[in-house]
Amino acid sequence: MPQEEEIMAIKVSENGRLFTLQTKDSSYQMFADDKNVLLHLYYGEKIGEENLSGLIFCTDMGFAGNPEEAGPNRKYSLDTLPQEIPGSGVGDFRDDMIEIRHADGSFAADFRFDSFEILDHSYAIPGMPALYDTEEEKGETLVITMTEKASDIVLKLFYGVFEKENVITRAARLENHGETAIELEKMLSFSMDLMYENYEMIYFSGRHAMERTAERIPVQHAKVEIGSTRGTSSHHYNPAVILCEEGADETHGSCIGACLVYSGNFVAAAQKDQKNQTRFQMGIHPTNFCFHLEKGEAFDTPQAILSYSGTGLTKLSQQYHEIIREHICRGAYKHAKRPILINNWEATYFNFNEEKILKIAEQAQKLGIEMLVLDDGWFGKREDDNSGLGDWFVNEKKMNGSMAQLAEKIHKMGMKFGLWFEPEMISEDSDLYRAHPDWAFAIPGRVPNHSRNQLVLDMTREDVREYLLERLTTIVHDAKIDYVKWDMNRSVCDVYSHVAAQNRNGELYHRYVLGVYDLLERFLAACPDLLLEGCSGGGGRYDAGMMYYSPQIWCSDNTDAINRLSIQYGSSFFYPISTVGSHVSVCPNHQTGRVTPFRTRGDVALAGSFGYEMDLNKISDEEKEMVKEQVATMHTYYDLTHEGLYYRLTGLKKQDFMAWEFVAKDQSRALLTIVKTDAEGNMLPVHTKVCGLAENKLYRCSLDGEIRSGRTWNRAGLTLHQVLKEYESIRVEFTEVE
């Protein structure tokens, strides 16, 4: 065990039963009571280390049974106590966290405190992404060991603490030490019972091309639950939710965030119990989940990143931005400047050849764009989306030569070269499928669903992953490719593996995700200089799990600047702006038909990892000049957008403009952007908040040269003296003056 002075954040009482996790501004407390039940006592604003078990009101609530250790005490019930690890089938009738079917057919899980250990570093989870230590900052870990009351099952609870970011992580590992096999039918990453507060849940729902719309709902006795059973985290719900105090806003109120570092099926739920305590849970969705654990086998949950802010949503988001940027994102481009890219997808779709691609690249290069990304259609027989997936061999006829030759031509222009793959998929009309039909998920005796006319590869198979690894690395190495866009274009169903034992089929959704992570890990190890951009039909897998491999993710297939405002707004609650893949495209927009000014499209895309998605040969000279200006603007503000602090200046309620702001970490300058989203006759003024400027510094505003103190700007805000027409945008810079 490390020395006490080495451990700053994890405080344990002398009797070893009271645990207080301290971050800069928050505290989390739990206590193993005299019956070894692990009670949740507190998560909120920073407090001392006094035992808060006195906050619990024990009463006989009726129909709330008493465990044997309570003897005649009818007031002690697992059904009413605030717990960290609610069992199942043994007297807590609320939603459980772990469900086990034992060899005798019984369902019971009753975990009791056994011991603890403290580590002076972060914990890793086998085969899964998790927050990692850096030279600048190390986490601390509390490992609590629990044992199941009537079987030889051990549960290890992991609590990680990152003090500076006010982050506490949770994950758990269940080990079967018994002689007989068990079936694990549910195992979440965390559960906690918050005793007295009233909460609202903010979650992010949507659909393909319209992801992460923020919604807010009170948590009452009817359960508020979101999740995905699509095999991916999904466009439909994002694996990140906030429980906030009623009425909390950007700058007021307590908020608890929970963000799952996972890219597959998940559930997040909150519900008040009969005592008005809120049970808050998150983890792998129990639907279609069942892990068979033989003696000696273990199951690890994904990690959940919890964070607390006592002063509203902006602080909470900034804490998530920092922790994800510094302790999830990895690789050569974690901090290195990302190239401004041009992607040919909306310019050509499948209808391209070498000549067209080179022309797009040549024009892009003249305008200052730094990388050409060749999207879908360069391989196998792929003239539309009905065939070819899996045949990762260059179509040399279409490309007029090898990929290395094309890449060389692009590199000679002084540009980087990127390539699209969709490794996890297979078309029935492909050589790969003809050779290995059993590599696709399909349940014997059933015809599998087609989606985009493609099937899903069985990523749980080692041979499938070996094939993909060989193909991807060979192409990347041969052609000296700088960037890969890793796409995934359908939900996963009809899951059945031809190599897994039949009693292991309930493991496949999770093993699929582990397979993807394994392939990503090995691919990146073989190509360490690569910039990987994640994608799943846009933002269908826009989650902290994927961000461990790809520091930017194509945030949505929707490039309409106005729709993007809401998508990027929703994304900003948890994910750093640097992770948002964001492009300027043509108008009328291909997804919505809307026409927006070229300038606005640029200003919206600037709030992300910036690029273009159009044929630059087909735009006017005036627009070409604007591209040059936008490219220059991107360089000017790169440090702000990728490393600065982000502020949402407008919110969920309907208004006729949206605004956001980036502030440099040293508060020397800030960039504020306003987009007019609705227009009326006799227009009312646009007045916006200004945030985050240093109180005692003076700042000049780029609009009218006005100089005021940060304190004044932060409180009085800014009024535009020009009328913005519908969809027009404006950028305002604040610069520190001596």
The catalytic residues are 543, 623
**H/E run at residue 721:** none
489 binds ligand DGJ (CB under 6 A): yes
699 binds ligand DGJ (CB under 6 A): no
Per-residue contact string for residues 364-383; x = within reach of ligand DGJ by CB under 6 A = -----------xx-------
Nearer to ligand DGJ, 22 or 559 (CB): 559
Nearer to ligand DGJ, 481 or 535 (CB): 535
* Beta-ladder partners of 224: 270
Strands (E), 127-209: 140-148, 153-162, 167-176, 182-194, 199-207
Identify which range of 116-124, 443-451, 534-542, 599-607 contacts ligand DGJ by CB under 6 A.
534-542
Beta 609-613 vs 341-343: how paired, if at all? parallel
Among 420, 517, 647, 662, indicate the residue that binds ligand DGJ (CB under 6 A).
420
Cβ(569)–Cβ(634) below 8 Å: no
200 binds ligand DGJ (CB under 6 A): no
Binders of ligand DGJ: how many residues, by CB under 6 A? 11
535 binds ligand DGJ (CB under 6 A): yes
What's the closest the beta carbon of residue 583 comes to ligand DGJ, in angstroms?
Answer: 9
554 binds ligand DGJ (CB under 6 A): yes
509 binds ligand DGJ (CB under 6 A): no
> Residue 38: which residues within 8 A CB-CB, separation 6 or more?
30, 31, 32, 83, 84, 85, 111, 112, 113, 144, 146, 157
Measured CA to CA, the distance from residue 679 to residue 79 in angstroms comes to 54
Nearer to ligand DGJ, 56 or 488 (CB): 488
Nearer to ligand DGJ, 375 or 615 (CB): 375
414: region left, alpha or beta (phi > 0 left; psi from -120 to 50 alpha): left
Measured CA to CA, the distance from residue 133 to residue 81 in angstroms comes to 35
Per-residue contact string for residues 29-48; x = within reach of ligand DGJ by CB under 6 A = --------------------
Return the number of other C-beta atoms located less than 10 Å from residue 726's C-beta. Answer: 16
Nearer to ligand DGJ, 132 or 349 (CB): 349
Cβ(534)–Cβ(574) below 8 Å: no
**H/E run at residue 722:** none
Helices 561-571 and 598-605, interaxial angle, to 10°? Answer: 10
Identify which range of 132-140, 293-301, 364-372, 532-540 contacts ligand DGJ by CB under 6 A.
532-540
> For residue 612, which phi and psi values (nearest 5 degrees)?
-125, 155
Measured CA to CA, the distance from residue 605 to residue 609 in angstroms comes to 8
Among 231, 264, 380, 537, indicate the residue that binds ligand DGJ (CB under 6 A).
537
Nearer to ligand DGJ, 28 or 379 (CB): 379
Burial class (CB in 10 A: 0-12, 13-18, 19+), 423: buried
> For residue 598, which phi and psi values (nearest 5 degrees)?
-55, -40
**H/E run at residue 670:** strand 669-676
Q: Nearest residue to ligand DGJ, using CB?
A: 376
Q: Which of 458, 466, 461 is nearest to 496 (CA)?
A: 458
Cβ(439)–Cβ(426) below 8 Å: yes
Length of the chain: 738
Measured CA to CA, the distance from residue 427 to residue 435 in angstroms comes to 12
Return the number of other C-beta atoms located less than 10 Å from residue 685's C-beta. Answer: 9
Helices 462-479 and 508-526, interaxial angle, to 10°? Answer: 30
116 binds ligand DGJ (CB under 6 A): no
Nearer to ligand DGJ, 345 or 657 (CB): 345
Helix (H, G, I), strand (E, B) or coil at 282: strand
Nearer to ligand DGJ, 86 or 570 (CB): 570
Among 345, 523, 549, 646, indicate the residue that binds ligand DGJ (CB under 6 A).
345
Among 487, 533, 560, 728, indicate the residue that binds ligand DGJ (CB under 6 A).
487
What's the closest the beta carbon of residue 375 comes to ligand DGJ, in angstroms?
Answer: 5
Measured CA to CA, the distance from residue 34 to residue 53 in angstroms comes to 12
Q: Which of 285, 219, 211, 269 is nearest to 248 (CA)?
A: 219
Beta 580-585 vs 552-554: how paired, if at all? parallel
Q: For the chain, what is the radius of gyration of the CA atoms?
A: 27
Measured CA to CA, the distance from residue 539 to residue 240 in angstroms comes to 14
* Beta-ladder partners of 661: 647, 672
Nearer to ligand DGJ, 554 or 727 (CB): 554
What's the closest the beta carbon of residue 452 comes to ligand DGJ, in angstroms?
Answer: 8
Cβ(563)–Cβ(213) below 8 Å: no
* Beta-ladder partners of 157: 144, 172
557 binds ligand DGJ (CB under 6 A): yes
What's the closest the beta carbon of residue 364 comes to ligand DGJ, in angstroms?
Answer: 17
160 binds ligand DGJ (CB under 6 A): no
538 binds ligand DGJ (CB under 6 A): yes
483 binds ligand DGJ (CB under 6 A): no
Of residues 565 through 594, those in contact with ligand DGJ by CB under 6 A are: none
In whole angstroms, how far apart are CA 266 and each of 107, 225, 298, 513? 22, 11, 20, 12
What's the closest the beta carbon of residue 473 comes to ligand DGJ, in angstroms?
Answer: 21
DSSP notation for 355-381: HHHHHHHHHHHHTT--EEEE-S-SBSS
Burial class (CB in 10 A: 0-12, 13-18, 19+), 668: middle
Nearer to ligand DGJ, 322 or 429 (CB): 429
For ligand DGJ, the binding residues (CB under 6 A) are 345, 375-376, 420, 487, 489, 535, 537-538, 554, 557
